[in-house]
């Protein structure tokens, strides 16, 4: 019996005025921890390319990598909604490719829905996927897979014309059947306007407090990625330095002969036979 949070539950949260909690998640132990913390949506984002796999951008991430990590998150959770990102070029070439790859993330990966980037230009692709029975979350504003076109990681919607385009993008995605839309790095006032305009939930990241929910990257939130800290991120813990100190203490104990002790060792009651065994051998 599947008791996971469904897209209907997420839509109902917006109607009741309840905020949605979404967080990136890339592996089994993290999924267990986030589920225990009652996170609503576990999101296998293509950010795994940067914070887990060491790529410079999200662009190199493959479908096989997304499937691998999605499966792990599914195994580590039972209540949260599992959302998988569609990586670069898994949906841009043709609607048929998009449908096939979205289906793989559900059929092979075990996700409950998929996310893809873009506005008006991907609306028909989203419609096709949704009509096949696959729930889709949209993503507009700063779309990391398009950074080469955008000129880097920049706030979007800062001019009247750009703001109008983003509103039109949001409406197009809703009309195409998207059950929710990520708004990334857009002015807070614009995010508020879009949120009020739509019947489906908005999930903000760098989009101010008036969205219907928020998403953050696991490693940013917990201080596990020190290359940079985005302006929109708040560090709730500095686990990176704690891990370094813990491992440094372990290394010192090993080098000084303080670990392991008898407490961490397996002993026999009558060890004399061991010496005899060594002599015979």
Helix (H, G, I), strand (E, B) or coil at 176: helix
Residue 225 in tokens: 């990625």
Q: Is the peptide bond before 260 cis (omega within 30 degrees of 0)?
A: yes
Q: How far apart are CA 66 and CA 84, in angstroms?
A: 7
Q: Scanning the structure block, which residue is given the tokens 């873009």?
A: 118
Is 124 among the residues known to form the active site? no
Q: How far apart are CA 93 and CA 97, in angstroms?
A: 7
Which residue of the set 65, 117, 174, 184 is catalytic? Answer: 184
Q: How far apart are CA 117 and CA 139, in angstroms?
A: 5
Radius of gyration of the chain (CA): 23
**Phi, psi of 82, rounded to the nearest 5 degrees:** -105, 120
Q: How far apart are CA 122 and CA 172, in angstroms?
A: 9
CA angle 208, 214, 218 (to 5 degrees): 120
**Phi, psi of 38, rounded to the nearest 5 degrees:** 65, 35
Q: What residues are labeled active site?
A: 184
């Amino acid at each position: 019996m599947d008791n996971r949070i469904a897209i209907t539950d997420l839509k109902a949260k917006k109607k009741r005025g309840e905020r949605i909690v979404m967080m990136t998640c890339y592996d089994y132990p993290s999924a267990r921890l986030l589920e225990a913390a009652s996170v609503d949506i576990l999101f296998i984002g293509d950010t795994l390319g940067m914070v887990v796999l060491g790529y410079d951008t999200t662009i190199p991430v493959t479908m096989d990598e997304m499937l691998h990590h999605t499966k792990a998150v599914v195994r580590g959770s039972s209540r949260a909604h599992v959302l998988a990102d569609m990586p670069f070029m898994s949906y841009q070439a043709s609607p048929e490719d998009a449908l096939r790859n979205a289906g793989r993330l559900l059929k092979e990966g075990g996700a409950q829905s998929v996310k893809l980037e873009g506005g008006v230009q991907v609306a028909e692709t989203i419609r096709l996927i949704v009509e096949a029975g696959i729930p889709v979350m949209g993503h507009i504003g700063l779309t990391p897979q398009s950074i080469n076109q955008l000129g880097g990681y920049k706030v979007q919607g800062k001019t009247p014309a750009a703001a109008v385009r983003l509103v039109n993008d949001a409406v197009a995605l809703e009309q195409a059947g998207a059950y929710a839309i990520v708004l990334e790095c857009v002015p807070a006032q614009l995010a508020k306007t879009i949120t009020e305009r739509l019947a489906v939930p908005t999930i903000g990241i760098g989009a101010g407090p008036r969205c219907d929910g928020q998403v953050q990257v696991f490693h940013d939130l917990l201080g596990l990625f020190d290359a940079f800290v985005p302006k929109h991120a708040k560090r709730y813990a500095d686990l990176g330095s704690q891990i370094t100190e813990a491992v440094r203490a372990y290394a010192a104990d090993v080098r000084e002969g303080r670990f392991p002790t008898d407490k961490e060792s397996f002993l026999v009651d009558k060890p004399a036979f061991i010496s005899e065994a060594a002599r015979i051998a």
